[in-house]
């Protein structure tokens, strides 16, 4: 989707990915298959490029810092490093006076032993590489925590207290290299099995909560000196607002901006990366995005026979289907999304 936005603006795109069959390889102008840490591979990319960006936070910071010697990297390696580690992320957010869910840092068994013997219902989350519910475990007892931590190979984690969720919200902001900031309307999100199911923009949010979201979001993006598209996820528990996590890229909860906005989040990322002015974040109409999961390809979950869904069943006025070109459907894998516009 970012490549399509770049082509719309007459830019050429070179993609570096470990997987030579990745979706982007089918759309880009030039593709490099290689390791993100291989210096020769990075030099090959750098010598053909004017500017660099990411579509995942799981890129080594060393890679981004190396590429910064050849051109602008937006967002920067420092910003990505905050977003790719839950411990670092929560420490940063807390340091600027913004609330996060009560939690403990877990880096060793000795950290666990220091905790109260009776723990409240909690969720253990790996510090790195957790998304779409992966790397998350329900914890009921201290021994349960020790066992799960051991099964993870003692990877650094955060232990979050479970809270009563009223709503899950997110906001997508854009900030250019001159410090200009804009935001899309707040989205209200529903998850299923830890994975985003639907996202509605704008969400049904009380005025005072909106004001808090805007204040926290602006503070975060400014204090990070962030350059690019940033998604900030929030938990609302009754009248308490907590920042959940940051995503340094276009986000699933903003896919409806492709059809519903004057300028999509993907075009914004391209504009910022190439030093073009920010586009409009005005919403033309309310919209809802629904993820199309690999489950849809399995009519009978027992025999695992793959059957392409009948997309005609989803087609109606105001609905657009996006399929990502992933070759192998799997249960719980995002294969695409559809967006429905609520036209007046």
- CATH superfamily, region 167-341: ATP-grasp fold, B domain (3.30.470.20)
Contacts of 224 (CB under 8 A, 6+ apart): 79, 82, 92, 230
Q: How far apart are CA 280 and CA 118, in angstroms?
A: 51
Give residue-wise pLDDT tens across range 202-232: 999 999 999 999 999 999 999 999 999 999 9
Cα separations (Å) of 282 from 107, 186, 305? 44, 12, 43
The DSSP bridge pattern shows strands 334-341 and 287-293 to be: antiparallel
Domain coordinates in residue numbering, the chain: 2-83, 102-161, 167-341
Give residue-wise pLDDT tens across range 172-206: 999 999 999 999 999 999 999 889 999 999 999 99
Which of 61-65, 134-138, 173-177, 215-219 has the weakest average pLDDT?
134-138
The DSSP bridge pattern shows strands 228-237 and 240-247 to be: antiparallel
Tell whether the model's pLDDT for residue 130 goes beyond 80: no
Tell whether the model's pLDDT for residue 161 goes beyond 70: yes
First to last CA, the chain: 27
Q: For the domain bounded by 2-83, which CATH number is listed?
A: 3.40.50.20
pLDDT at site 292: 96
pLDDT averaged over every residue in the chain? 95
pLDDT at site 301: 63
Nearest-CA neighbor of 167 among 118, 112, 233, 120? 233
Higher per-residue pLDDT: 129 or 90: 90
Q: Do domains 2-83 and 167-341 have the same CATH topology?
A: no
pLDDT at site 103: 97
Tell whether the model's pLDDT for residue 126 goes beyond 90: yes
Tell whether the model's pLDDT for residue 118 goes beyond 80: yes
3-state secondary structure of 273: helix
Q: How far apart are CA 218 and CA 212, in angstroms?
A: 10
Give residue-wise pLDDT tens across range 277-335: 999 999 999 999 999 999 999 877 666 788 899 999 888 889 999 999 998 899 899 99
Residue 125 and residue 158 in contact, taking contact as beta carbons nearer than 8 Å: yes
Query: 10 Å Cβ neighbour count for 271?
Result: 21
Contacts of 283 (CB under 8 A, 6+ apart): 184, 185, 201, 202, 257, 260, 261
Contacts of 178 (CB under 8 A, 6+ apart): none
pLDDT at site 44: 97
Cα separations (Å) of 23 from 31, 98, 136, 240? 11, 37, 27, 40
Beta-strand runs (E) in the chain: 14-17, 30-33, 103-106, 122-126, 136-139, 157-161, 167-175, 181-183, 187-192, 195-201, 228-237, 240-247, 287-293, 319-323, 334-341
The DSSP result for 227-260, as a single string, is: -EEEEEEEEEETTEEEEEEEESS--GGGTTHHHH
- % residues pLDDT > 70 (the chain): 98
CATH 3.30.1490.20 assigned to domain 102-161? The reply is: yes
Quote the pTM value. 0.95
């Amino acid at each position: 989707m970012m490549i399509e936005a770049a082509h719309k603006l007459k830019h050429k795109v070179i993609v570096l990915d470990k997987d030579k069959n990745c979706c982007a390889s089918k759309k880009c102008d030039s593709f490099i298959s290689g390791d993100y840490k291989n210096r020769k591979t990075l030099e090959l990319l750098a010598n053909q490029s004017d500017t660099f960006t990411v579509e995942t936070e799981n890129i080594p910071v060393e890679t981004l810092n190396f590429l910064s010697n050849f051109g602008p990297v937006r967002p920067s390696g420092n910003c990505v490093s905050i977003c790719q580690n839950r411990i670092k992320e929560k420490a940063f957010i807390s340091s600027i006076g913004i609330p996060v869910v009560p939690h403990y840092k877990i880096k060793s068994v000795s950290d666990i032993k220091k905790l109260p013997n009776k723990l409240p219902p909690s969720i253990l989350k790996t510090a790195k590489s957790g998304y779409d519910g992966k790397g998350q475990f329900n914890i009921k007892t201290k021994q349960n925590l020790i066992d799960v931590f051991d099964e993870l190979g003692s990877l650094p984690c955060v232990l979050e207290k479970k809270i009563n969720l009223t709503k899950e919200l997110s906001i997508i902001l854009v900030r250019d290299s001159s410090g200009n900031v804009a935001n899309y309307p707040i989205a209200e999100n529903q998850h299923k099995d830890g994975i985003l199911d639907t996202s509605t923009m704008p969400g049904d949010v009380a005025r005072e909560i909106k004001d808090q979201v805007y204040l926290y979001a602006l503070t975060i993006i400014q204090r990070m000196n962030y350059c690019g598209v940033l998604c900030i996820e929030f938990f609302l528990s009754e009248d308490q607002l907590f920042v959940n996590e940051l995503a340094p890229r276009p986000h699933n909860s903003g896919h409806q901006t492709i059809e519903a906005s004057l300028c999509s989040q993907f075009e914004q990322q391209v504009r910022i990366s190439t030093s073009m002015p920010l586009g409009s974040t005005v919403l033309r109409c309310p919209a809802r995005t629904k993820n199309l999961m690999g489950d849809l390809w399995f009519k009978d979950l027992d025999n695992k026979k793959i059957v392409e869904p009948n997309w005609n069943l989803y087609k109606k006025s105001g609905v657009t289907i996006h399929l990502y070109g992933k070759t192998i459907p799997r249960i719980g894998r995002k294969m695409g999304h559809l967006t429905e516009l609520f036209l007046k």
